[in-house]
Amino acid sequence: MTKHSKNNTASSIFSYAEYKKLDYGTKKQRLGNESMRRFDACALCLNRAREPLACNEGHLFCKECVYTDLLTQKKDIKRQKEKLETMRREIEEEKAKAKLAARERVLKEFEKGQLSLGSHNASAISSGTSIANSSNPLKRKFNFSSSTVESLALEAEEAALRQIEVEQREALKAKLPDFWLPSLTPTYTGKGDAESVKSLEDVKLQTTCRGGNPKHALTMKSLIPVKFTFETSSKPNSKDSDQQAICPSCKKVLSNNTLIFLSKPCAHVTCKTCTDTLVKPAKQCVVCDTALKVPDDSKGGKEGKNDIIELRREGTGFAGGGLAETSKAGIAFQG
């Protein structure tokens, strides 16, 4: 065995320490407690929520932050709707232009046919004028039908329109393909086709919640106020930011390792233990005795309206639940 084969550099794989020193591939890092958002923090500004509001999924926001975000989304939606309306108008104009071009082509082809027939049969018509003027009782009469003529004209226009589309595709194929320009790709078929119109009609725009993933629909009317109960401090000069939120029933200090539930009608917040033992069996709030609608546990707890929702939290950093790990994707070249 050679000396070089005994060295660590002869290995075909990296050790754990060597791999950590490389700036290669996807990097993963476990999040600690300092990287977690507090349970009473706004999901947008990440500070303690001022005049807190919650959505139906339990995401917490400041009133000012969520209203500003929803108004910004509404402005963007209005701008997108105007853009979609402009695109729809352009598609209709292109369809009208294509139909007009098809109708002109049909008329030109008809005139060419009439001119060729007239020049070809000029001698026959001049020689047969005497026969035409003579009365023939057995001559078949021609019945003119406007509906038949219209149907034939529509069929001719549709055939001409299809021919124009084929010619446009062939003209685009003759050019060099530019894949960064949609109108010059080899598979481009034009803006006025039925698929593009259908795709514009299927677009649905709705304001969404930015507090969690996946996103869900959110409106200002569906926001729920949240009232935290704070412990009374013995210090006279204590600030509001120093006060800790507690459960109004058991006086337990709320934190990220506590499951917290919100009563929608009265906006009071209680811990999981008090919610399971006091609020749900009595179907009323422990603070103001407001009646609550709770689904029946005998039916699995999934049927009926539920006035109690869980406030979302990120976790403690020491448990497997929540956002415990983050990753950063890197470039990995393989030869």
What are the pLDDT digits (tens) for 217-248?
A: 999 999 999 999 998 765 555 565 668 899 99
pLDDT for residue 317: 57
Contact 260, 254 (CB under 8 A): yes
- Tokens representing 143 are 């019945």
Residue predicted with more confidence, 267 or 301: 267
pLDDT for residue 150: 77
- Of residues 204, 205, 226, the one with CA closest to residue 66: 226
Q: What residues contact residue 302 under an 8 Å CB cut-off, 6+ apart?
A: 295
pLDDT for residue 266: 92
51 pLDDT higher than 90:
yes
Adjacency order of strands within the sheet including 53-54: 60-61, 53-54, 224-225
70 pLDDT higher than 90:
yes
6 pLDDT higher than 90:
no
129 pLDDT higher than 70:
no
Give the C-alpha separation, 285 to 264, whole Å: 10
- Tokens representing 112 are 């060419």
Strands (E), the chain: 27-30, 53-54, 60-61, 224-225, 229-230, 245-246, 260-263, 269-271, 308-310, 325-328
Q: What residues contact residue 156 under an 8 Å CB cut-off, 6+ apart?
A: 106
- Of residues 275, 234, 236, the one with CA closest to residue 252: 275
Give the C-alpha separation, 8 to 291, whole Å: 71
Give the C-alpha separation, 263 to 211, whole Å: 20
pLDDT for residue 137: 56
Give the C-alpha separation, 72 to 53, whole Å: 18
pLDDT for residue 131: 47
pLDDT for residue 335: 47
In one-letter notation, the amino acid at residue 94 is E
Contact 231, 58 (CB under 8 A): no
What are the pLDDT digits (tens) for 131-152?
A: 445 455 555 555 657 777 777 7
What 8-state DSSP symbol labels residue 319? S
Give the C-alpha separation, 254 to 52, whole Å: 16
- Tokens representing 216 are 């869900």
Contact 160, 110 (CB under 8 A): no
What are the pLDDT digits (tens) for 268-295?
A: 999 999 999 999 999 999 999 889 988 8
